[in-house]
């Protein structure tokens, strides 16, 4: 029986603890910054990916 997209996403998020965030920003006013922070607050390890700030720490 195929799973729904919501069920697939739920399973993925329950089983995954490391997420790469493409387009991550070091600017608090950006949505991607808030997404990264929220994921971290919920116990995920987030690997920020942003070629424009290569070599810098987010």
Report yes or no on 43 lying in a domain. Answer: yes
State CA 2 to chain mean position distance.
Answer: 26
Residue 5, pLDDT score:
87
Over the stretch 8-51, which tens digit does the pLDDT of each residue have? Answer: 888 888 999 999 999 998 899 999 999 999 999 999 999 999 88
Residue 51, pLDDT score:
80
Handedness of CA 29, 32, 33, 39 (dihedral sign): positive
Asked whether residue 1 carries a pLDDT value surpassing 60, the answer given is: no
Residue 39 phi, psi (nearest 5)? -60, -45
Domain that holds residue 47: 21-58
Residue 2, pLDDT score:
60
* Total domains, the chain: 1
Report yes or no on 57 lying in a domain. Answer: yes
β-sheet bridge partners, residue 10: none
Report yes or no on 58 lying in a domain. Answer: yes
Report yes or no on 8 lying in a domain. Answer: no
Report yes or no on 7 lying in a domain. Answer: no
């Amino acid at each position: 029986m195929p799973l729904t997209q919501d069920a697939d996403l739920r399973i993925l998020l329950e089983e995954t603890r490391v997420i790469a965030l493409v387009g991550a920003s070091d600017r608090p006013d950006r949505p991607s910054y808030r997404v990264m922070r929220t994921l971290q607050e919920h116990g995920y390890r987030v690997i920020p990916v942003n070629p424009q700030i290569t070599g810098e720490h987010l």
